[in-house]
Structure 1
Amino acid sequence: MDTWMLPWISLFHPEMARIAFEYRDATLFCAEARAATEGLRGARYPWESARTGFETSPWDLSANKEIHVVADISLALQQWLLCGAGGKALAAYYGFGRRILDSIGRFWTSRLAYSEEKESYVIEDVMPPDEYVQTCNNSAYTNAIVSIALSGPAKLARLFGETVSPEEDLWEQLSSQIWMPLDQENQVMLEHEGYKHGT
């Protein structure tokens, strides 16, 4: 929903989109509790959820591995705020926007791992949007959207005239250090690390 539907709703029906973000705020404590059970910080939103905010996906693999949804939520919220949030962007940013974005930033900094070999940060053991893959390391989509989730809080703080916090500054620096599975020889972005052409 956050990537496929909310961008359009944010543009043409911003008050309807607001409901989705208020739901994310209302269930933030569930997302933070889940991250804590996994030894991580911040908000680890579920792949599928209902009223409670807890995971409801019937498929354990997607429930546990399709974590790009956490960054999807950040991107959707950033887009909504940048679109003006129905003329209430400033109030929404201070009301719940920054809180959600920062909690997502904390999650990703605790989920990233530094690879000495790649001299970059990596995100391993995930399910990309292509669910047929099931699990992989360094999904191009996941890594790219995590970069946006990490750079967004500092950019929005500046946009709204706020001081960038030390955490937000760190996330912005990390956002440009995430490894991407680029096939250097053919100059093609691979779906994920180890992807074989033609599969």
Structure 2
Amino acid sequence: MGILLHVIELGYLVLSLYEEISPDEKLGEVTVFAAQITDPETKDSPVLKVYCVSSIFSKELSKGHHTFLFAFGYTHNEAVEFYNLAVHYYNNKSLMSSHQRSWDFVWRSVNVDVDNTDFAKTVKSSLFFILSAFPHFALENPDLENYPFDFYGVSPGSLGNGSDGEDYWGHVFWDQDLWMLPGVMLLFPQLDRSDVCPGAIYAKYQQHITACVVYAIRQYVYVTGSWDILTKDGAWDIVKETADYWVSRVEWDGSNFVIDHVMDPDEYHYNVNNSCFTNAAARLNLLFAIEAAEKLGKIPDPRWETVSQEKQGIKIPFDDKLRYHPEYDGYTQGTLIKQASVVLLGYPLGVSMDPDVRRNDIIEYEKCTDRGPGMTYSMYSIGMLELGQLDTAAELFKIAQR
């Protein structure tokens, strides 16, 4: 069986590839191709190559059962090796059973049971798709130092997707750190990785993403009770450098430290000053840096404490008369917003506030939120549960589920 060489173009061609592949007449011809990132996140980011070996998908199929294989790796040899392994499984009639064994391990390790059958399917399928984005080697082997390959995180639109203007360009974004990892971490705490931001406008203004990376590290430490992660994999450097970043980013306005020209999680509004969520997340970043330094026997930078203090620290916008948090400086009550933002202060950030303020934040922003991402309504549903409004919480939960 011959090899059909095909090259995918991502900015420019990546040519190589000639190596023998196990023949199997039942699986048909094989295509081998490669792609390379031409627009890395920063000038220092790795320019990755991905090599793929795939069965050729026929345009017309006869009635019956058909098997197509796809394998990829960081080198041509690795992709070929994985493809040959798949062929071996196929020829020994163990391709499906090996897949089932891997998932059996997952379901034996973790499970989420709910009473309602339809909702149970939703929960299980959601868990299935999220865990599918993680390497199962990591699920079955929690020793991070012995990974056979690098793992670059989970994208809300999947890393394999992302044409220009679509699905966050395949980037990880803050969805991993604030929305995906906290839940997965309770089941498989070893799954904790990095974050990147798509597009110039987001990279320039949406700086809360920096704090969300540290939020994920903080959650890992609190969930596992182990501070060891800070001594390996550069985690302490992330915590320290992000704290230093916030110190350099703030400006003193005579009363508080302010952070101007940002984009709130509510992406309808950007180049605003003192995003409530951004500033609160930055403050948590600094407080965790202080805590982590003390745990590691290091001396915290005194500037971290100065900027993060409750009074005269980072400004958290608050309306004393209306008893609620404006989303940013100059925000007018009732202005349409894209998604949950201020409501995230209570959960998941856990910012301390009076009960009436929490109530006002939830009620105020729920009624002026556009039909945004489903994760928005899960946050409002949790908020309504806090307020004891069970019927409203149930309706909002149904929206989130859809």
**TM-score exceeds 0.5:** yes
Segments of structure 2 that go 5 or more residues without pairing to the other structure are 1-175, 336-402
Aligned to 2:182: 7
Corresponding residue for residue 100 of structure 1: 238
The DSSP-based 3-state class of the residue aligned with 1:163 is: coil
Alignment of 1:153-168 (within 5 A): 153-158=289-294, 160=295, 162-167=296-301
CA deviation after TM superposition for structure 1 residue 91, in Å: 2.9
Structure 2 residue identity aligned to 1:94: T
Greater per-residue helix proportion? 1
What amino acid is the match of 1:93? L
Kept in 1, the 8 Å contact 2:275–2:329? The answer is: yes
**Identical pairs, percent:** 28
1:139-177 Cα shifts (integer Å, max 9, x gaps): 00000000000110111233x3x334241x431331120
Partner of residue 325 from structure 2, selected from 168, 189, 199: 189
Counterpart of 1:27? Answer: none
- Name the structure 2 match of 1:149: 285
Q: What is the aligned partner in structure 2 of residue 47 from structure 1?
A: 197
TM-score for both structures, normalised by structure 1 = 0.73
SS at 1:135 equivalent: strand
* Separation of aligned partners in 1, 2:299 and 2:283: 18
Residue 61 (structure 1) shift? 1.5
Count of matched residue pairs: 156
- CA distance 1:153–1:166, shift in 2 (3 Å): closer
**Aligned partners of 2:280, 2:308: CA distance in 1, in Å?**
9
AA aligned to 2:197 is W
Partner of 1:175: 308
Q: Distance in 2 between matches of 1:73 and 1:191?
A: 21
- After superposition, what is the alpha-carbon deviation per residue over 1:18-47, rounded to whole angstroms, capped at 9, x for unaligned? xx1xx46xxxxxxxxxxxxxxxxxxxxx42
Normalising by structure 2, report the TM-score: 0.37
The Cα shift of 1:128 comes to 0.3
Q: Partner residue of 1:32?
A: none
CA distance in 2, matches of 1:97, 1:172: 20
Q: Which letter maps to 1:184?
A: D
Q: CA RMSD in A?
A: 1.6
| Structure with bigger gyration radius | 2
Q: Which residue of 2 aligns with 1:112?
A: 250
